[in-house]
Amino acid sequence: MFDDEDEEIYGGDVNDDLVLFNTMYEKNEYGYFDADRIEALIDHLLVTNQFKKAKWAAEMAREHFPFNNLFYLRQAQAMSLMGDMKESLKMLSHLEKVDTPSLDLYLSLASSFSQLRDSESAIKYFTKALELAEEEERADIYIDIAMEYESSKDYVSAVKTLEKAMSEQPLNESIVYELAYCYDQVKEYEKSIDCFLKFLDEDPYSYTAWYNLGNAYVKLKKIDKALQAYDYCIVINDDFVPAYYNTANTYVEIEEYNKAIEFYQKCIGIDGDDALTFCSLGECYEELERYDEAIHYYEKCLVLMPSFSDAWLGKGVVYEAMGDYPRALSAVRMAIDLDATIYGYHHVLAGILEKHGEISEARIAYEKAIELLPTGSDEDLIIDYLSFLSKEYNDELFEVIEQNEIINNSDATNLFLVNEFWTMNKRTEALALLDELMITNLSLAKSLFLHFEDLKEYGEFTSRIEEE
């Protein structure tokens, strides 16, 4: 929007003019600059965030050049950047009525409406600006329009805007990344992948494109392709830590914890000590049941970031696995003290309390976890809670199921009831419920033996599960 040159401009040197201007500003005594020189000065002041000086310079210039609307525009821009949106928009709207349409004016109006979170008006003026823009200016404006749609959560319109931009500038990396982000938001991961692959056909050495391609493959559970994409990224730029970190995360997802540890260690080798990486290492060693090493890395994490609640939780889980109940309880309670909004923390606490016979406290913890649970999003929690009630508060079980909307509407509840009905000798109901679940949620139905291993003894269940 503004030009800033430190070389000689319009016959004058900006640095020399700045010295003279600053003297005038301090004395509040404006002299005279010709129009080109004061324009260059104002642009310099705006791009260097000296908005108050830019506003004063524009006001003074308007007195000398009352018919030059550029200075009126610059004053409005300075006021907008200073936060005086109401007066700025009033001036810009006046200019729109009396002046020739210009890219600068439309962009200023769009930016002002954007700051006011009026996306509809911002898009209107960005679109007008697009009609006047040169080819090299259009990409940024397309992205501005898309981001306005994004701020309104209208990702479909953002995608359409960016697809049009891509058709004009297929090698513009900023457009590629923004479009891939929007595809991700609307869960069109295949289109995101196609977007990066087309870009990489033209620019195969873009390590950031390979990295983002890997992230897209992870979303589709295409693990081998994700790892290959991250590998290409690392070959091109072997200091790019996010690629190592996400490679490690991908190995965690497929439970290859030793490989994950190798890549987390590479992150530390490049970037130095990092709390998040130490916590991730702790989780890997926890999964490998190498508990002393897990504790070691959780503690290294907490030295760097004592308020890292996940590390406290990890310590609690490991201490419990080591049979150290007091330390386990203390660490998990610390995690909850640091962040009581995470339902999983309460779930872990409930499990520890239940295991050690603290039944009333366990129930409180389970109920807090259920209270915080996003609708039906954790099948294990719901099954654990209902199994707990079945053992300890059986007379209340069906009342809880009926009264709690999240539990009542969860497929996990139906999986639990398969076992519960079977235990109650309501075998027809149990098998009918399983048959229904195999139609509505096959993957959950096939996890039956993971939750209720005893049912493996009955052919009625094994025949159904093994047929699928």
CA dihedral 113, 115, 117, 122 (to 10 degrees): 30
Amino acid type, 122: A
Quote the CA–CA distance of 378 and 398 in Å, as a whole number. Answer: 20
Q: How far apart are CA 95 and CA 80, in angstroms?
A: 15
For a pLDDT cut of 90, what percent of the chain falls above it? 59
CA contacts within 13 A on the Cβ side of 84: 14
Give the per-residue pLDDT at 311: 98
pLDDT value at residue 292: 97
pLDDT score, position 370? 95
Two tokens at 382? Answer: 């719901």
pLDDT of residue 403: 92
**Banded pLDDT at 222 (limits 50, 70, 90):** very high
Neighbours of 335 (CB within 10 A): 25
**Confidence bin at 287 (pLDDT 50/70/90):** very high
* Phi then psi dihedrals of residue 67, to 5 deg: -100, 5
Residues sharing a CB contact under 8 Å with residue 27, sequence separation 6 or more, in sequence order: none
Residue 237 contacts by C-beta under 8 Å, 6 or more apart in sequence?
A: 207, 243
Higher pLDDT, residue 100 or 370:
370
What pLDDT does 229 receive? 97
Q: What's the pLDDT score for residue 105?
A: 87
- 29-33, 209-213, 225-229: the lowest-pLDDT one: 29-33
Task: Flag whether pLDDT at 268 surpasses 80.
Answer: yes
* Residue 88 identity (one-letter amino acid): S
Which pLDDT tens digit goes with each residue over 241-253? 999 999 999 999 9
pLDDT band per the 50, 70, 90 thresholds, residue 13? low
Sorted by where each begins, the domain ranges of the chain are: 410-468
- Token pair belonging to 29: 């005594």
Token pair 């649970």 is at which residue? 373
Q: What is the per-residue pLDDT for 66?
A: 77
Asked if pLDDT for residue 375 goes beyond 80, the answer is no
Give the contacts of 320 (CB within 8 A, at least 6 positions apart): 328, 352, 355
Segment 95-124 mean pLDDT: 86
Tokens of 441: 């949620």
Please say if the pLDDT value at position 61 is more than 50.
Answer: yes
Give 67 or 433, the one with higher predicted confidence: 433
The whole-number pLDDT of residue 323 equals 96
The stretch 104-116 carries a mean pLDDT of 86
pLDDT at 5: 43
Confidence of residue 468 (pLDDT cuts 50, 70, 90): low
Q: If pLDDT is split at 50, 70 and 90, which confidence band does 195 have?
A: confident
The model's confidence at residue 9, banded by pLDDT at 50, 70 and 90, is very low
Q: Which of 34-38, 186-190, 234-238, 440-444 has the lowest mean pLDDT?
A: 34-38
* pLDDT tens profile 141-193: 999 999 999 998 999 999 999 988 988 887 788 888 888 889 888 888 898 89
The pLDDT-based confidence of 11 (bands split at 50, 70, 90) is: very low
- 9 backbone dihedrals φ, ψ, rounded to 5°: -125, 130
Rg of the Cα atoms in the chain: 31
User: What pLDDT, in 10s, does the model give residues 378-403?
Assistant: 899 999 999 999 999 999 999 999 99
Q: What is the pLDDT of residue 7?
A: 40
pLDDT of amino acid 62 = 76
When the pLDDT of each residue in the chain is averaged and rounded to a whole number, the result is 89
Mean pLDDT value of segment 209-222: 94
**Out of 166-175, 192-201, 271-280, 360-369, which region has the weakest mean confidence (pLDDT)?**
166-175
User: Model's pTM, two decimal places?
Assistant: 0.75
